[in-house]
Copies of this chain bind each other. A is one copy, B any other.
């Protein structure tokens, strides 16, 4: 089949690879209908995360079930399904509850990050532990929405949920990339009076405004936040960039007894944490990986009922065969690109 294969730093190619084969009676074979490129795929593309050459990448994908193991009872051949981008052992108490990122047997794995679990930017994928990792796409949820439900929408929602938002509060989202914008949409579910969105790129700020946020240019953010909060700081901050600098700004901008929720990926072993300021503030600080299937029970009905319309983040739709170009543009942030949808049939 055709798939996007990582050959080294900055080198992703669409090429032929062997067809995937389900491993056991708990697995399923899914023919991919749409996949997406995620910001975390760029960690592989940049070589920040080491990967053996030849890896089939991608962890956001939906498709049609072609084969299903004898022990899998929740889906059938022919079903259109979404697949959690991250999976666990599927049997411990946490996995049964959908908290696969906290698998007690420490078998948390992401599609397309290691050779044992080839990714979904491909024509087909073998999915282990299908009973827990796969969900039928329900009525009211489009294919594009379903792709977002596999990872990035739960991530944005996780950031908002971790922020302890209460009705009437003022929230700041740092970063208007796709995760930040989905955090903005998710934050609105918790009844804030205002959600400020801070970024440097005017088009991203314009989109934030369109989605209900109050755009704040990064260069003026210090004074705007101070003024809008009467020098008290914002009630809650969702950090969706992941740099040391924005994490420190989050701690600076939050009010006393407020919450900083980090969903931007920062892989540093030693961010210089201002303990003395956190101490004076009475800070709650949260950071973690998204437990995708656990969050589906809240997110699927919200999307199906039209309360969440995340698909607005897709700015580019390309064929899987254009994968190398898609990665190049996404990485370069060319052309107002936010999120790319890939079609394996093209």
Residues of A within 8 A of B (CB): 93-94, 96-97, 99, 101-102, 104, 157, 161, 166-170, 189-194, 232, 247, 256-257, 262, 265-289, 291, 297-302, 304-305, 307
Q: Which residues from chain B contact A291 at a C-beta distance below 8 Å? A: 282
Q: Tell which of B256, B269, B276 touches A276, judged by Cβ atoms closer than 8 Å.
A: B269
A275 touches B301 (CB 8 A): no
Contact (Cβ within 8 A) B288 A285: no
CB pair A191 B190 closer than 8 Å: yes
Q: How far is the CB of A278 from chain B (nearest CB, A)?
A: 5
By the criterion CB–CB under 8 Å, are A168 and B288 in contact?
A: no
CA distance A282 to B276 in the complex (A): 23
Known: A267-B275, A270-B274, A272-B273. 12 other contacts (CB 8 A): A101-B256, A167-B189, A167-B298, A189-B191, A190-B191, A193-B302, A194-B305, A262-B275, A272-B272, A273-B273, A283-B287, A285-B285
Please give, as numbers and ranges, the residues of chain B lying within 8 Å of A101 by CB-CB distance: 256, 282
Distance between A312 CB and nearest chain B CB, rounded to angstroms: 18
CB <8 Å contact, A275 and B269: yes
B298, A279: Cβ atoms closer than 8 Å: no
A115 to chain B, nearest CB (A): 21
Min distance, Cβ A96 to any Cβ of chain B, angstroms: 5
B104/A307 in contact, CB under 8 A = no
Contact A273 B271 (CB under 8 A): yes
Q: Using known A-B contacts A96-B96, A191-B191, A307-B191, determine if residue A287 contacts B301 with beta carbons closer than 8 Å.
A: no
Cβ-closest chain B residue relative to A96: B96
CA gap between A247 and B99 in the complex, in Å: 26
B271 touches A275 (CB 8 A): yes
Q: Which residues of B contact A168 (CB under 8 A)?
A: 297-302
- Can you name 21 A-B residue pairings with CB atoms under 8 Å? A101-B256, A101-B282, A102-B256, A102-B282, A161-B167, A168-B300, A168-B302, A169-B301, A170-B301, A189-B191, A191-B298, A191-B307, A193-B301, A193-B305, A262-B279, A266-B275, A267-B279, A270-B275, A272-B272, A279-B288, A282-B286
